[in-house]
Amino acid sequence: MIIRDAVEADLPAIIEIYNAAIASRIATAQLEPVTIEERRDWLSEHSPEHYPFWVAETEGRVIGWLSFKRFLPRAAYRGTAEIAIYVDEKFRRRGVARRLLEEAIARAPLLGITALVGLIFRHNEPSLNLFQRFGFQRWGLLPRIARLDDVERDLVVMGQNLGVHSSDGPISAPFSAGQAHNADTSDWRGYNDCLRLMHTLMEYRHEPIHSELLKIRDKYSMLHLDALILIYHFAKICSGHILEVGAFVGGATIAAAFGVRDSRQQKRLVAIEPGGGVKHKRLSTRNILRDLERNLAKQRISEMVTIVKGRSFQPATISAVNQAFGSDEIGLLILDADAAKRRDIECYGKKLAEGCWMVIDDYYGPRSNTKITPSRDDVDALVAAGWLEPLGFYGWSTWVGRWRGAAAEVTC
Ligand SMILES: C[S@@+](CC[C@H](N)C(=O)[O-])C[C@H]1O[C@@H](n2cnc3c(N)ncnc32)[C@H](O)[C@@H]1O
């Protein structure tokens, strides 16, 4: 299943799904079916850069949709979006709504959205449960506010603050959908996503987590602080679990665990590390695994992290990771072991959720350096093949992006 911006040609399917929901009297206060004519402007009222309208598509068929709209028209609500999700009856209970909601939470900060709100009837228990599972809380109850077929119904306001404060909404788009622009829309969307990610990073500089992670970096990490902050951010917003390859003594592991903690969601964090000793000007250790365990304990996050002792590509390691995640998908992959990034992606590619956030270290480096072989060739080849979507380069040599393997129909 892929999630993409809706286009005009999707409108009949969108309306068919909506009309089926109207008839059920559970999901919407709309009482009469709508027509394509009435809703001709529905999609153009949304903008992919701030309040998008997405469809979930499988095998060329639209099976669900999600819309963002401004919660209330006043300027102060600019960062708050109301979301609505509808799924084709024939595709219910297959995780479509879950995937759409996960994507909404993950992308909202990039859209300049700082709070999400869902207005859900109190008798719509499946939707209330779904929102609750993804960190939404009951912010309010509007009793007997709707009358559906002579039955008075209560409306629950489900809300979630997404953490980073955006005082000025989304970054102004270098291109907007209405502008004459020859390139495919994905070009400017990708460009805007890169800018928004930089913006998000700047905003974290004013948050307490910045100094918290600065201490972690100094004590336990070889990564640049910016890379740790992004790992924290992705762990917080990602949908799915987290896999780290090459934990060393826990710098990035701790950043990810803090992100999970602050997401208030149940996400599993698995860190692969074979152990050994390392000589380093700041972080020398004779026993990596002992220090990793000790550092996680010091930060009181031992219980959040499953350490898999071994090398990423060994069958026992792969099977331990698969066991830890079960049938669930990975929403953040951190690769910081050695240069063989493609090897690690091939080992775990099947478990990556579409849009999984990817943090890949050692992208740059002098090719003559015998200690650090850059992973640039591997990463560039995966980008060229359409498996990876690049979103930027941070710190000393960390590549950041998203997994697009499902869209590229990867079968690794
Ligand atoms: C550069 S360090 C990781 C630094 C860490 N991310 C941090 O925040 O400081 C690389 C680590 O990867 C581990 N490693 C090397 N090859 C590995 C493999 N195939 N699978 C898992 N870990 C590996 C090494 O033992 C080492 O601890």
Whether 248 is in the pocket of ligand 1, judged by its Cβ within 6 Å, is yes
Percent of the chain at pLDDT exceeding 90:
62
* pLDDT score, position 365: 76
The 8-class DSSP code of residue 370 comes to S
Residue 292 has pLDDT above 90, yes or no: yes
What are the DSSP calls for 23-92, one per residue? HHTSS-S--S---TTTTTTTTTTSBTTTB-EEEEEETTEEEEEEEEEESSSSGGGTTEEEEEEEE-GGGT
283 CA distance to ligand 1 middle (Å): 13
Asked if residue 276 has its Cβ within 6 Å of ligand 1, the reply is yes
312 lines ligand 1 (CB under 6 A): yes
Q: Which of 25-29, 125-129, 389-393 has the lowest mean pLDDT?
A: 25-29
362 in ligand 1 pocket by Cβ < 6 Å?
no
311 CA from centroid of ligand 1 (Å)? 9
Predicted pLDDT at 173: 46
CB of 273 sitting under 6 A from ligand 1: yes
Nearest atom in ligand 1 to 275's CA: 25
Residue type, 221: S
Supply the pLDDT for residue 105.
87
Q: Residue 277: pLDDT above 70? A: yes
Going by alpha carbons, the residue nearest to atom 2 of ligand 1 is 248
Express each pLDDT in 345-362 by its tens digit.
999 999 998 889 999 999
Q: How confident is the model at residue 249 (pLDDT cuts 50, 70, 90)?
A: very high
Q: Which of 81, 69, 74 is nearest to 43 (CA)?
A: 69
- What's the pLDDT at 176? 40
In this predicted structure, what is the pLDDT of residue 369? 58
Tens of pLDDT, residue by residue over 21-32, are: 887 777 777 778
What is the per-residue pLDDT for 182?
38
Q: Is 246 a pocket residue for ligand 1 (Cβ < 6 Å)?
A: yes
370 pLDDT band, cuts 50/70/90, is low
CB distance 374 to 362 below 8 Å: yes
Contact 288 CB / ligand 1 (< 6 Å): yes
- Does this model's pTM top 0.85? My answer is no
User: Which segments of the chain belong to CATH 3.40.50.150?
Assistant: 207-403
Q: Is the C-beta atom of 398 inside 6 A of ligand 1?
A: no
Pocket test for ligand 1, best of 232, 234, 245 (most atoms within 8 A of CB): 245
Say which residue, 175 or 297, is predicted with more confidence.
297
Q: Which of 66-70, 200-204, 266-270 has the lowest mean pLDDT?
A: 200-204
Task: Using the atom order of ligand 1, give the atom closest to the CA of residue 362.
Answer: 1
- Ligand 1 test: best mutation among 285, 336, 343, most atoms within 8 Å of CB? 336
What percent of the chain clears pLDDT 70, i.e. is strictly above it? 90
In this model, does residue 372 exceed pLDDT 80? no
pLDDT of residue 162: 82
Give the helix/strand (H/E) hosting 217: helix 208-220
User: Is the C-beta atom of 252 inside 6 A of ligand 1?
Assistant: yes
Asked whether residue 368 carries a pLDDT value surpassing 80, the answer given is no
Is the CATH number of domain 207-403 3.40.1280.10?
Answer: no
- Ligand 1 mean position, distance from CA 250 (Å): 10
Structure confidence at residue 213 as a pLDDT band (50, 70, 90): very high
Closest C-alpha to 276, from 266, 287, 284, 265:
287
pLDDT band for position 407 (50/70/90)? low
Q: How confident is the model at residue 175 (pLDDT cuts 50, 70, 90)?
A: very low
Give 262 Cα–ligand 1 centroid separation in angstroms: 25
Is the pLDDT reported for residue 157 higher than 80?
yes
Which sign does the torsion angle of CA 94, 100, 101, 106 carry?
Answer: positive
pLDDT in tens, 295-321: 999 999 999 999 999 999 999 999 999
The pLDDT assigned to 320 comes to 98
Task: Report d(CA 125, CA 153) in Å as an integer.
Answer: 13
- Mean residue pLDDT of the chain comes to 88
Q: Nearest-5° angle of CA 217, CA 223, CA 229?
A: 70
Does domain 2-161 sit in CATH 3.40.50.1000?
A: no
Residue 179 binned pLDDT confidence (cut-offs 50, 70, 90) = very low
For residues 388 and 358, the answer to whether their CB atoms sit within 8 Å is yes
Portions of the chain given CATH number 3.40.630.30:
2-161
Query: Using CA positions, which residue lies closest to atom 16 of ligand 1?
Result: 337
